Structures are given as structure tokens and as C-alpha cells.
Amino acid sequence: MTAEDRDTMVPEGIGGRLEIQWDELPKSFPEDFWPGLMHLRRTLSREVEAGCRPVIAWFLAAAVEQARIIFNDARLAIHSEVKIPSVQIPNVGLVGGKLDFLLADIQGIGPMGIPNVCPVAYSNRCYYGGT
């Protein structure tokens, strides 16, 4: 899409009031956030899109971990390269493809964010009524 397409889709411009709930935002980042970010920024060429994605994913991962706590949603996860159906947009045409990232709950019953040494044993326990 081009800037002209964007102007056609949103003729009034992108705007609106942004409501920030400052008291809900984390007061600090995890200790490993800044060193990890600096590591990515020092080593990745961000000249093309593929070099930017790990940096974006790093920010999203930190946000998802905080969102899981704030919203009590342990199943929230980052999905990448999610295909979306094409949609006809007036005066622009057919738009579709893949989302670089999508944040949504993941289905299933396995633990999220906890190292699972033996996933088959865990799934069998759940299948046969165990916890």
C-alpha cells in the first residue's frame, strides 16, 4: 500500500484521542529487557524489514508478559505471519496477506511460559482426567 492508498482509506487522517491508563502501566521493565534490546540493535541490520522484526518481537514479548499479569490472561501469545483474508476496500482495491504479528490467546491446555520437560506425559494426564 502507498501513502495515497492510506489517504483514500482514512481521508480525515489518523487521529483521535488516545487514552492512557498510566496507573496500569508497568513501573519498570524486566532486568533483561535493555541488555537484550541493545544486543539486537548492535547486531541486526535494520535496513530491510526482516532485520526489524526481532526488535519489534522483543518489545512485544515484554508487553505480552506484562499484559498476562495485568489482565490475568496466561494464554496470551504472539503469533507471527498470520494469513488474513483479502478485503475489498472502496477506491483502493483488494487488500490482504499476512500480519507480521498478531497478539491473541492461544488454544489448548498445555502450560504457557513454563518449561515443560515431558509434554506427552502432561497431555496424557489431562486427557485421562488428571491435572
55 and 46 in contact (C-beta within 8 Å)? Answer: yes
Indicate the domain borders of the chain.
20-127
Q: Which residues, at least 6 apart from 50, have a Cβ–Cβ distance to it below 8 Å?
A: none
- Give yes or no for residue 127 having a pLDDT over 60: no
- pLDDT (tens digit per residue) in 78-90: 999 989 888 887 8
Reported pTM: 0.62
Residue pointed to by grid coordinates 483521535: 16
- pLDDT (tens digit per residue) in 19-74: 777 887 777 778 888 899 999 989 988 787 778 899 999 999 999 988 888 888 88
- Closest to 109 measured CA to CA, from 119, 100, 94: 119
- Closest to 103 measured CA to CA, from 85, 72, 86, 82: 82
Q: What gap in Å lies between CA 11 and CA 14, rounded to an integer?
A: 8
